[in-house]
Amino acid sequence: MQYFTGETYFQTEAPIDSSSLTRWRKRIGEEGVETLLMVSINAACTIGMMKASSVDRMIVDTTVMPKAIAHPTDSRLLEKSRQHLVKLATDNNIALRQNYKREAPRLAAQVGRYAHAKQYRRMKKSLRTLKTRAGRVHREIERKIAQVPENVRPQADTLLQRVQRILRQKTKDRNKFYALHAPEVECISKARLKTRMSLE
């Protein structure tokens, strides 16, 4: 590899720093990248490597970035909802009768342990209790929403609507919430995925 790239003797170190390309790309900016692309296309057309009709359709190679989405469980969703609601109340000086900061995390952990031990009756009981606790905090903030400043009201309303949807959703609902911070995420079954691929 080094011989074909013009090295006269064997190099044990990397030829350039790994971040050099990143720094160079930041320096030239978006306009520089577009200019470089246009120059490359014009050069390819000039020497006959591509036709003008080849640019009618473009194939773009992209990098897929994973979302910060954990495996969706009802206990985790309910506990996250309660935490977000309590933070909303704390940030806006809303006095809550109870925020369940000790009981709710313990219940969420119990749900996971009971599910692992296949003690489903106890798991469902802990899940119902956790749902009740999150629902109480949600209803109290709904009653005191007037205390939230006007500039924060849209975000508060959005959070309340999402939590309400989480509290109302059932196990076999088709369009469920799987992440509080990313409502666009959906879980697709294999059958639905095959149907969607065949339609596309």
pLDDT per residue of the chain (200 residues) written in tens, 0 to 9? 788 878 888 888 877 787 888 888 889 888 998 899 889 888 888 888 887 777 777 777 777 767 666 666 788 889 999 999 999 999 999 999 999 999 999 999 999 999 999 999 999 999 999 999 999 999 999 999 989 999 999 999 999 999 998 888 887 777 777 777 777 666 544 444 444 444 44
pLDDT at 22: 85
- CA torsion, points 147, 152, 158, 162, in degrees to nearest 10? -60
Q: Which two tokens mark 127?
A: 């899940």
The pLDDT, as a whole number, for residue 200 is 44
Q: Does a structural domain hold residue 151?
A: yes
Does residue 138 lie within any of the structural domains?
Answer: yes
Residue 28's SS3 state is: helix
Residue 8: inside a domain: no
Is residue 55 in a domain?
no
CA distances from 75 to 1, 57, 161, 180, 185 (A): 54, 47, 18, 13, 18
What CA–CA distance (Å, rounded) separates 96 from 141?
8
Q: What is the span of the domain harbouring residue 89?
A: 75-168
Joined together, the tokens standing for residue 23 give 């720094």
Residue 35 lies in a domain: no
Q: What are the CA-CA distances from residue 90 to residues 71, 85, 87, 113, 166 (Å)?
A: 28, 9, 5, 30, 22
| 184 Cβ contact list (under 8 Å, min separation 6) | none
Query: How many distinct structural domains can be found in the chain?
Result: 1
Q: Within a domain: residue 181?
A: no
Query: Which contacts (CB < 8 Å, 24+ apart) does range 27-36 have?
Result: none
Q: Would residue 158 count as lying in a domain?
A: yes
Is residue 100 assigned to a domain? yes
Give residues with Cβ within 8 angstroms of 3, minimum separation 6: none
